[in-house]
Structure 1
Amino acid sequence: MIAQREQSGEQIFVSQEMTCNVGLLNDVMVCTAEPTTIPIEPSIVGNCSGDLAYFNSRGGPRDARMCYGPDAPYILYGSQSSYSCIGIWVEDARMLLDDFHAERSVVPKLFTHATEVQKPPPVGGMEKNFFLFWDSSNKAYVHHDIYPHRVFAQLEFDGSVGPDLGVNSASKDDVCLKMYMPTLAPELESIHQATNSLSITLCKRADSGCTPTAVNTFIFTIFQHKSYHDWHGIYEPYVMVFQRDAPFEVHAISQRPLWIHGRGPLTRETQSLLYSDPNKDIPSGHTEMFYVTSISWKTHGQKYHGYLDDPLFLAFGIEDTRAGLIDVLAEDLFSDLGYCPGKM
């Protein structure tokens, strides 16, 4: 598990990511040893200006995510950018974590050093939430935006990218997004990419006739509808499924958001650090802020690809205060999909 070290006092301008191996003790995730700092390379000199100039003085990685590709684990995180203010960096996790020490010298690796992931223009001041995905030939791509239009490109070894490939599927994707994307209020609501990607074959591993093909194997990710009313964020997660090979058209989207068991109303009993001041009013009628951060196959050794009857871990944060984990069967995430025209 990786998590951002709490920042306070003199440490507010130094961001660090921590790691430990975890086990479950009475349904609570517990580190099996003292957490250690992930030795991520120092941030480059800040390139922020105007209202974002503050970020020049806050170095180090932030909002790190760990995910598996077809062959290797990767860590993606935000930090100072060469091309904007804050960008996304990636590194092979085997170069950073002691658990993979034996593999460092014998396995060919992509992104052996911290590498900034670029984006086709236009580039914003704060770029975040990119995710990587791989086609059937294990070529790597990066998905930058999902809404109002998809932006994604092929990713090279040095972090550079090709042209925006989203334009190749936009005529069909935009129709599907309009059909199934949650309706946004004029203000204070947005769509965010949330998790990494995984590949799935839409049949059950236990079925003898279930064989991955170009027709039944897809890539999926989770995005979130964020609202920020009354100065409190609420996130609703949805699954998006798209083709594994070019042109990577969207195949299906959840018709309703996922609901994580245990999410309740926002009250004092939530013990949110955001409302630790007893004089700060808690907004009425709000649920707790649960935000999904990553998806992974639960079975040890399973990396990128799975089947409908395979169990998954969904990791999530709660109120910027604590972390959670839930295991579900993949088919549970795919039970309420709305299919794009002509895709059923």
Structure 2
Amino acid sequence: MAAAMVASALLYSQSLMTQLLRRKALLLVIVLVLLLLSVIGMRSPDLSVSMGDQLLATDETFVAKTSTFKIGSCVDTRAVSSKAIVLGSASANEELTMTRFRFHKFDTSHYYNPSLLPALPDSPFDYVGFVRYDRLSAREVHWCYMNWTITTGSGRSFLDCIETAKILPTPHFPSIKGSCEKFKHYENDFGLMDPRVFWSPFGEPLMIVITNSHMACLGQYLIDVRVLVPELSKVFKIEHVPIRYSIYTELNDASSPYSMFHKNWFLLYDDNNRGFLSHGMHPQIITEVPNGLVNIAADNVDCLHNIIYGASSAEIHQGTNSLRLTLCDFPCVPTVENTVLISIVHAKYMNYPDMFYRRFLVLMEPVAPFRVIARTRNLIYAGADVSNILFSFSLTWDTTVRTHGSWREFDSLPASAPSTSSTSSTKSEGKLVKRAELAGKPAAAKPNAVARAVPAAAKPKSLPKPIARAPAAAPPSKAAAKHDKPVAAGAKTNAENDGPHVRPEPAPWQHMKDADQMMDKMPFPYNNTLVSDWYHGWLDDTIIISFGMGDMFAGFFQVKARDIVNCLIKCDAMP
């Protein structure tokens, strides 16, 4: 009896062990399957198409260093969905997040919509910053030399003015009586608004800014910033570059009748660096500078028709200036086949109080009529509150972190060769050097190369009188920079801005159609006319995106060009 019970117990134990082993084996299989699914999920996330967005085939192997970039290829899809792509800030900010500006200490006034001009390698400062500044009823443009600094409380990096920001002279342009309709208070002394400062391909620091119009209520004017801040010619070593826009030049309005407010237009340049003006991206409206009033934009596939995601109260607005990008790493040869123009546009949603923007980089062909060929998904800047009003305002190549030398080493054709070809340079191997190694070191001359003559600086067509020119002096030190602020005719001084004043005479101005483009006098150092040290870059270069936040503050974001064009959506692949 006892033996039978023992045998029964043993049989039961063996059966129980067998069941447990089977369960463990089943659990192990389940765990392995889950791990396998997880790995597959990380490699190929769910990127299902919605709202008309189409994700193109993923190419895990990125293009070789000097090969042509494939529009639509995806390098890293972990931060990409069918609608958005998350960008981490590169270069100086090791926390990968956006960076703040500080133009004024202990000042609660609103300053936003900034622009940055990166300094030269041997400069005692890192950037020149410009910003819209609103206080009470005054609208001003402030500027200063800026350096990186670190907050004592959190140890975070930000850009700070070396000394108190200066005010650009404000012109007096009365608008046409009645042109502002219910906004009659805009008709006189509106001030300066939204100063978008950028480089032309020739090395001109230009500004498009809003103030009272001679054609409508508020218009946009183009001016060379060196007219307002003469010392910048020496700071950026561009004394040889002629000043084409020596007075406020109002941009032509191609619409009929004229719109009341002109905003967010930008210049773009073709493969021979002729200027064109983009009035709108949806629909696309482009006119030729200086006297174009006819829209030359192609009637092509509308690449932006579905970025508003079906919202009933959304609009598409232009945002930044343009840059030229070659879709391969330096030193591949830029051609019209591998180069594009880029700019950021916005989908603006106006459902109060839930008003916000989505941001999209658009790619255009580098030659007229500048057909839009692709766009990104909604750009999410890490560390920024993109659910609020975040308006991308300007783009700049950040040459302060550029890790390669000048194209001059690779521009091998003799200077006597025609300079109108966009494919005339030959590729050459060269050592990539850091910015610190570039400081004070001119590019080595190539053997048997013919030096290209740089045209002497042409005398500006006309200058407003009087203009106070800064005395020749050494660049400002980091500790204390001294800047003389010129006062153009018709401008208000700081004292006048702070209280009642006698209205000055109207400032000098001209229509864009009357501006002399002086193309035969503009210096261009390279045989390949697509290459520019100011306006052009490669995939391995860094772009600064400067933006306003909530119409109150200013920030910027550094991103590799390669990252911002990841997982593009081609226009011809859209429904």
Calculate the TM-score normalised by the size of structure 2.
0.50
Alignment correspondent of 1:183: 309
Cα contact 1:94–1:104 (8 A) shared by 2: no
1:139 paired to 2:271: no
What CA distance in whole angstroms lies between the structure 1 residues aligned with 2:248 and 2:367?
27
On the 8 A contact 2:175/2:216 being kept in 1, the answer is no
Q: Is the 8 A contact 2:175 2:218 kept in 1?
A: no
Contact 1:95 1:104 in 2 (8 A): no
Displacement over 6 Å in runs of 4+:
none
CA shift at 1:55, angstroms?
A: 1.1
Which of 95, 101, 107 aligns to 2:241? It is 107
User: 2:292 — aligned with what?
Assistant: 161
Aligned pairs for 1:183-202 (under 5 A) are 183-187=309-313, 189-202=314-327
Deviations 1:92-140 (A, max 9, x none): 1122224424478642222111100012122211110000011111100
Verify: 1:42 aligned to 2:169, yes or no: no
RMSD of Structure 2 on Structure 1 (CA): 2.1
Q: Shift of the alpha carbon at 1:46?
A: 4.5
**1:23 Cα offset (Å):** 1.4
Task: Give identity over the alignment, percent.
Answer: 24
| Distance apart, 1:232 and its partner CA | 4.3
CA contact (8 A) 1:46 1:55 kept: no
Shift in Å, 1:35: 0.7
SS where residue 191 of structure 1 aligns? strand
Q: C-alpha separation between the residues in 2 aligned to 1:153 and 1:185?
A: 30
C-alpha separation in 2, matches of 1:230 and 1:260: 23
Q: 1:1-344 counterparts in 2 under 5 A?
A: 1-8=129-136, 12=137, 14-26=138-150, 27-47=157-177, 48-71=179-202, 72-102=204-234, 106-122=240-256, 123-147=258-282, 149-156=283-290, 160-166=291-297, 169-170=298-299, 172-174=300-302, 176-178=303-305, 180-187=306-313, 189-205=314-330, 210-254=332-376, 256-264=377-385, 287-300=387-400, 302-341=533-572
User: Which residue identity lines up with residue 144 of structure 2 in the other structure?
Assistant: C
Deviation digits for residues 260-298 of structure 1 (CA, Å, limit 9, x no counterpart): 111248xxxxxxxxxxxxxxxxxxxxx232211111011
Pair 244,104 (structure 1): closer, same or farther in 2 beyond 3 Å: closer
Partner SS, residue 220 of structure 1: strand
Q: Considering only CA atoms, is the larger Rg found in Structure 1 or Structure 2? A: 2
The one-letter code sitting in structure 1 at the alignment partner of 2:380 is W
Q: How many residues align?
A: 304
Q: Secondary structure at the match of 1:129?
A: coil
> Displacement, 1:42?
2.6
Distance change (3 Å), C-alpha of 1:309 and 1:105: closer
The offset of 1:4, in angstroms, is: 2.1
Alignment deviations for residues 216-258 of structure 1 (CA, whole Å, 9 cap, x no partner): 111010001111223342111101111111221111111x200
Amino acid at match of 1:82: H
Q: Is the 8 A contact 1:155 1:162 kept in 2?
A: no
Deviation of 1:211 after TM superposition, in Å, equals: 0.9
Relative to its length, the structure with more strand (as a share) is 1
Letter in 1 for 2:368: A
Which consecutive residues of structure 1, in runs of 5 or more, have no partner in the other structure? 266-286
SS at match of 1:177: coil
Which ranges of structure 2 fall in alignment gaps of 5 or more residues?
1-128, 151-156, 403-532
Alpha carbons 1:86, 1:127 under 8 Å: kept: yes
| Cα distance between partner residues in 1 of 2:561 and 2:231 | 27
Question: Judging changes above 3 Å, is the alpha-carbon distance between structure 1 residues 260 and 130 closer, same or farther for their aligned structure 2 residues?
Answer: same
Scaled by the length of structure 1, the TM-score of the pair is 0.83
